[in-house]
Structures are given as C-alpha cells and as structure tokens.
Amino acid sequence: MDFFSQQDRARRNTRYLLILFTVALSLLVLLVNALVTAFLWVGRDYNLYVGGSGWQGYLALFSWERFGTIGLAVVSTVGFVSLIRWLQLASGGKAVAESMGGRRVMRQSADPYEKRCLNIVEELSLAANMPVPALYVLPQERGINAFAAGINPNDAVVAVTRGAALQLSRDELQGVIAHEFSHILNGDMRLGIRLASLLKGITFIGDVGHFLLRMGAYGVGRSNKRSESSAALPILGLGLMVIGWLGSLAAGFIKAAISRQKEYLADASAVQFTRDNRGIADALKVIGGFLPGSLVHSARAPEMSHIFFGEVRHRLWDGFATHPPLDRRIRRLDKDWNGQFIQRAEVRYGTEPLSENHTQAGVGRAALVAAAMASSVLDHSADHENPHGAEDAEFSLPHGLTETAAKDDPLTGSGGQIPGALHTAVLDPLGATAVALALIASRRSPQQLKVAMHVLHEQAVQGQAEQVTSLLPLVRELHPGQRFPLMAAAMPALKNMSTPQYRQFKTTLLSVIRSDGQTDLFEWCLFQLLRHYLDPEYLRVHSSRPRYGHIAKVRAPLRQVLSVLAHQGSGDSARAFALSCNELQLSEMTLLPLEECSVAEFSRGVHTLADCYPLLKPRILKAMALAAADDGEVCPVERELVISVAAVMDCPLPPELSLG
C-alpha cells in the first residue's frame, strides 16, 4: 500500500466529487424551476387551467429571466450552506468529535480501557512519524465503531465508541485505529469534510420545504381569508421537501460512490501498519456477531456516516451503503475465513476489568516505537515479523533492540541503556522540558554555557534551571543515537503542559538555542521534532499547501538539502550526493562546498520541499536515505536529519524507506 499514491488518488476523488456535485446541483436547479413554474401554473383558487390549457399553459409560464433568478438563488443558497458547514467542520476534528457527543481522553484517565486506546494511538502515530492526534470516546454508543476527522494530520482526531473500547481485544482495537490512521495518511479526511459540506447544501432544500410547509399550514389555520400565496405555500413546501428527498438520494449515491473503495484501501493500509491482518479481520468478525453491530445513535452520525469504520445505520438497500459488506471486507483480509462471526458477551464498565497484562500492554510503548523509528527506520536491518498472538508485540523490534531488553526497559538507544535518572525525568512535564534544554546546553563551551544558563535563570520557570544543571552530566554521557529516542519518550509528558506553559517553554528553548549566536544542525533537528509533535496540540497549525509537482521546480532547495546531508557522513560526500541525484534523475547537479551549506539555507530548503505534492515527497526521502547509507553506516546526525526533514514535510516514513 502506497500512502502517497492514495493521497494523489484522494485529490482525484475530490475532482470526481465536484463533478457529481455539479450534476446534482444542476438537476436541483431544474427541479426547483419546474416546481416554481407549477406553483404559478396552479394560480388562483387552484385553477389548473389558468394561463392556458394543459402543457401549453405550463410551458407558456417559462421565463429565462426567472430561470436565471431561481438558479442563482438555489446555487447561492446551496453554496452558502455548504460554506457555513465547511467552516464548522474545518475548525478541526475536535468540532466533529464533540458534535457526535465525544469526550476527550486525557492521559490522567483512570479507566484502563481508555488508557489502552490512548497507548495505541500514541504508538501508531510515532511509528508513522506524525503528530499524535487527540483521542475521543463516544461514551453513549454501544456499537463498535470509530472515525478519524480533521482537515490535515495536524488537527486530526481519532474517536472510538464505548463499545469498541470495551468489546475489542488490544490487537483488534489496534487494527481498527490503524484503519483510521490510514484515512489520515491517505488524505481521506479532507475529502470527507468536503463531502459532508457539499451534501449538506444539497439536502438543505428539503429543510426549506419543511419550513414552508409548516408555515403555510399555520397561515391557513389562522386566516379565514386565504391569499393566493398562503393557499399554495404548503404545496410549494411539499414540492421542495420532495426535491430535498431526491437530493438526499443523490447525496447517498455520491457518498457510496466515494466511500466504498477507500474503505478497502484503509483496511489494507491498516495491515501494513500492524504487520498483522488478524486484528482488523477479527474486529470485523466481532461486529458481525455483536447485537448492536456498528450502529451509532448520534443525530449527526448519518450526515458523517462516510467517515466511520463501519455502517452507522441499517440500510434497506446496499446501493446507499457507505461501506462494503462485512463479509467482503473480511474475505479480503482473511481468505481462509469460515464464514462464522465471533460471538462475544457484552462487556460493561466496572464489571469485567482488564487483566494486569492486558492493562499494562502499551505502557511505555510509545517510547519503544519511537526508539524503533529513530534506530531502525534508517538502519540496514531486515523487517522482523511480529510473533502472532503476542500481546506485547504489535510492531517489529528495532535493530539492536532485543525482545528481552524491550520488555525490561523500552528507553534504550543505539548506545545502550539510558540512565535511570533521565528515564524518570521525562515522565513529568518539568523534567521533560529540562531534558530538552539540557540537550541544547550540553553542547556549549564553558563560556557559552554560562550565557545559556543566564538565559535560563531569566526566562525559565521556577526550578527548571536547577533541574537542567543537575541533568547536564547525564545528558553529556548520552550516545548521539540515544538523543531522539529520549525526546520521543518525553512527548507524552510534554503534552500534559498547558498552552501558556508550552508557549513559555518554546520561547525559552529558542532563546537558549540562539544564546551562542548560531544554530547547528542538531539544534535545528531537535526544534523541528518538538514543533512537529507539539504545536498541533497547543496551537492552530496551518499545513503547507502543495505547489510543486515536478522535481525540476525544486532543484535549488534539493541541492542545498542533499549537499548538507552528503557532508555529514564519513564516506565520500561527492559519491553520496551523486547517488541521491541519480535516484531523482538529476545527475547534472553538483555538490555544494561545505562552506556554502549553512543551517539557515538548509532550513529554507526543507520548508520549500514541504510544499511539494505528496507523490514527490517519498522520492526525496528515498534519495536522502540512499545518500545517508552510501558509506555503509547511518550516523546519528544523518538519522536525525532524515527524520526531522520528514517531520517538516509532514511525510511519514513508509517501510520501504528502510536503508537496506
């Protein structure tokens, strides 16, 4: 499964949606014009022959001027309603989740089922190299379902129903959530929001008809003298309701046409994430054997049915189904399925607690997956398949990290075990921020360190400077390969800050970075990693817009970025640069001298590459990976550079980019 090809497919589906919407809107204009002409044709006292006889009289009332006026009114109304709905939904996935009755799950939650869901969301997001989306639970929904919402990965949320959290095992739940992550990475969320907005505009005509029908009936009942308009108003309202119903049918067909295929794609992508097809297949089997199924009773659910994991309502006809039949989805995932669904007794809160092993599965796993991402994604290691049935092994272990070591202490890096004091420090927000600041301060000369500590005493919160001082000796002993895994392990604690605390931390971090008058590559990488994972949690983030569809348009920034990377390895820089250029079919490009490779130009180049279209980004990352592996070893600086560039580009590191 190629996430980037599917993002491109999602863009084509958007154009397909606009074509279908234009056709539906055109038919809507014709039907409303026909209805208004019939309304005028009826005339005074319901005389069906006023203005002529038969169809000749009806056609005689046709006017191009009126047709244009009505068409403009219909188009303007639909456009206005669609825009309002878009603005409501585009405020972020949070608005969609809360409109469904969702409640955000915080890390302080004492509920083991919710904590298990949160652990799964964190480990999948770190494995995909994307910001951790907020998790919501729909506490009133017994059905087994889930959805992802938002405009882009930065404002995405994942929501699960109470039934999904309680009824599914960890592997099954991981398959369901991985399916929703696939929608995020495939670019389906923006398409889903556009679909809901446009279809709301179409069905709004029916709401107008319902209002006119009620108003007309009220007017007739209150007045002894019926005017022509008040007498015929219920008929006009009834006609608009019928047109709205037809619009709803069209909306249903459009949703079904857009949604079904992407569900198959998301199922396949979920298998790529979890390396196991049984989890998501068994989740679908549980839905088939569970009495409430995947039903969702929220009033908003039918409108947003296309973003859910399963059908939210029973369908009288499969033509309106937004999801493929369960048996077809299962057979694509499990060819040996015997046709029997999984029967499972309903679990209720407080009656059947998770076992100790099941509750603890995933605790600290975010750090393990982060270590895998930092130590293995860019290493010369073959993929290790997960042992089937192992509750604690959803992901393959990183190269150099044995299964025993992972269970004992996930905070290990390529240079051995991270000191216990640092392990403890990253578990709370103050300690996690102190570790980040210590990583920067530890690279300073004695004179520069005095300046950095002076900045800390002036700007840092109370006790932070002292904690940085105490952690400095331990941070200096870290192997370079342990730095990113340590910061990845600190992410959950950093997400527990308040927005003012995060703003203060970010300001202090920037001040310490700038205290020596220059920014080196590690400082740039660390700041970009923190910004990538934390900004969406606290700030309104605007993703880059695709502008460059051809490699030739980004030759200059590519030359800068690839030159910087080539100079970081221990091998032949010119050979590494040539290897990456050949991969991009830019063999005529030449390596920049080291003195022309500034961090400022590198940063500008990376942010320009972030504006490339999705299909170009994996090609660029693959070229960088080839350059990093040219000398047979990926050094920590090279690894940090590639991961940080991928973060700035909002581009996940797919499995095929492992250097090997």
Which residues are identified as catalytic?
180
Assigned token pair, 559? 């030359």
Q: What angle do CA 257, 259, 262 make, to 5 degrees?
A: 120
User: Using alpha carbons only, how large is the chain's radius of gyration in Å?
Assistant: 29
Cβ-contact 309, 146 below 8 angstroms: yes
DSSP-derived 3-state class of residue 613: coil
Residue with tokens 């302080």: 108
Mapped onto helix, strand or coil, the DSSP state of residue 590 is: coil
Handedness of CA 464, 466, 469, 471 (dihedral sign): negative
User: Which is nearest to 624 in space by CA: 551, 550, 564, 574?
Assistant: 564
Alpha-carbon gap, residue 228 to 504, rounded angstroms: 68
Distance CA 444, CA 451 (A): 9
Give the CA distances from residue 465 to residues 420, 433, 602, in Å, rounded to whole numbers and listed in that order.
20, 10, 31
CA atoms of 244 and 328, how far apart (whole Å): 32
Contacting residues for 169 by C-beta, under 8 A, at least 6 apart = 282, 358
Question: Among candidates 70, 35, 66, which has minimal Cα distance to 241?
Answer: 35
- The C-alpha angle with vertex 363 and arms to 426 and 108, in degrees rounded to 5, equals 70
User: CA-to-CA distance for 590 and 593, rounded, in angstroms?
Assistant: 9
DSSP 8-state symbol, 323: S
The greatest distance separating any two alpha carbons of the chain, rounded to the nearest whole angstrom, comes to 100
The two tokens of residue 116 are 């298990």
Q: What is the DSSP letter of 147?
A: E
